[in-house]
Chain A
Amino acid sequence: MARPIEWQLATVAAVHDETPSVRSFTLDLPGWAGHRAGQHLDLRLTAEDGYSVERSYSIASEPERAGVVEITVERIPSGEVSPFLHEVVIPGDRLEVRGPIGGYFVWDAPLGGPLLLIAGGSGVVPLMSMLRHRARAGARVPTRLLFSSRGPDEIIYRVELDRLAAAGDGFAVAHTLTRQQPPGWTGYARRVDEAMLAEVLEPLGPTTRTYTCGPTALVETVANALVRLGIPPDRIRTERFGPTGT
């Protein structure tokens, strides 16, 4: 197995838009060691003068998809790396990456559930890898995704999530739209709070494993609320993305 510490060259095989501000990149990685759902990679950009920046991106694709890895990146207008990925990178380009990284914020089908996944914006990315893995592995563990987005056009993976939820294999999605709701919206319309968490958690019960991912402020709120709702600390797994999106 390749050691995670080595930088390798990925070739961008495809690029597609998920929402107006979120884009996915399929990376060809012939030397990829294979990953677990929830892991991320580090991406490094180096300028001609040697200046380099690194950022972490969660892996969106499921482990079953061999040889390629998909990442999904939200464009942070004031950012250094994400606007570059959106505006400059095209298929055929090469990017330096290392990974897969992490062994704590991961879910493998044999671990079971019930599962409560909580995402804010691009925080859905590693959770999507878990959901795709769950579907590919034929797992039927009761699973719910509570997904906070700003508005209806900003729901990442919306079509695919609807399709997964329609499969009738024990997976359901609850959306909350914090800034703008379409007419007739029946989902939640506020930031994630303890009452909302209690409602989505209720059918799953106290033995639920939870994975929360997104901007640090959201993860902070959710993790504290889950403690108060009686979830044991080792079943509260978090991945903070930093100030992204604030």
Chain B
Amino acid sequence: MDERRAAMVEDPAVDLTVDGSGVGGVLATAFGAEMTSSRGRCAHCHTVSIVGTMRAYVRGPGVVLRCPACAEVVLRIVETPRGVLVDARGLAWMVVDRR
């Protein structure tokens, strides 16, 4: 797990990433709520982290969020004119706040 995280941090593409907080617009569209201060649990390493601290890859089609602890993909979101595709298989759970 540490090797994978190290690989993520040393990957030259890391310069292209932003914080989970930077993709709050896409997340709000997908979930209908402010998500960046919510928590989610990684299905791979079971770490609970704040969505705003996850690592977001925004240069592909859609957005990919990776776990800050193990660097595995937790969430993929693709916005299309007809709807939003959410692939959440890397996530054990995530809180959608209704405050």
Contacts and interface: CB of A to CB of B under 8 A. Distances in A.
A5 B50 contact: no
Contact of B17 (A102, A104, A242): A242
A165 to B, nearest CB: 27
A104 B24 CA distance: 10
A121 interface: no
- Per DSSP, are chain B's interface residues mostly helix, strand or loop, or mixed? helix
Interface in A199-246: 215-217, 220, 237-243, 246
A45 B29 CA distance: 17
Interface in B42-99: 50-53, 58
B19 A238 contact: yes
A218 to B, nearest CB: 10
Contacts of A83: none
Q: Which of A42, A99, A103, A238: most chain B CB closer than 10 A?
A: A103
A236 B15 CA distance: 19
A4 interface: yes
Interface in B5-19: 9, 14-19
B36 A99 contact: no
B28 A5 contact: yes
Contacts of B29: 5, 98
A104 B9 contact: no
B24 A102 contact: yes
Interface residues of B, number: 24
Nearest to B84: A5
B10 to A, nearest CB: 10
Interface string A91-105: 000000011011111
Contacts of A217: 15
Interface of A: 3-5, 40-42, 54, 56, 98-99, 101-105, 215-217, 220, 237-243, 246
Interface of B: 9, 14-25, 28-29, 32, 34, 36-37, 50-53, 58
Given A104-B20, A216-B16, 7 more contacts: A3-B32, A4-B34, A5-B25, A56-B18, A101-B24, A216-B18, A243-B16
**Lowest 9 CB-CB distances: which A-B pairs, in order?**
A104-B52, A103-B37, A42-B25, A101-B24, A104-B36, A102-B24, A104-B21, A4-B28, A240-B18
14 contacts: A56-B18, A56-B23, A99-B25, A101-B25, A103-B34, A104-B50, A104-B52, A105-B36, A216-B16, A237-B52, A238-B53, A239-B19, A241-B22, A243-B16
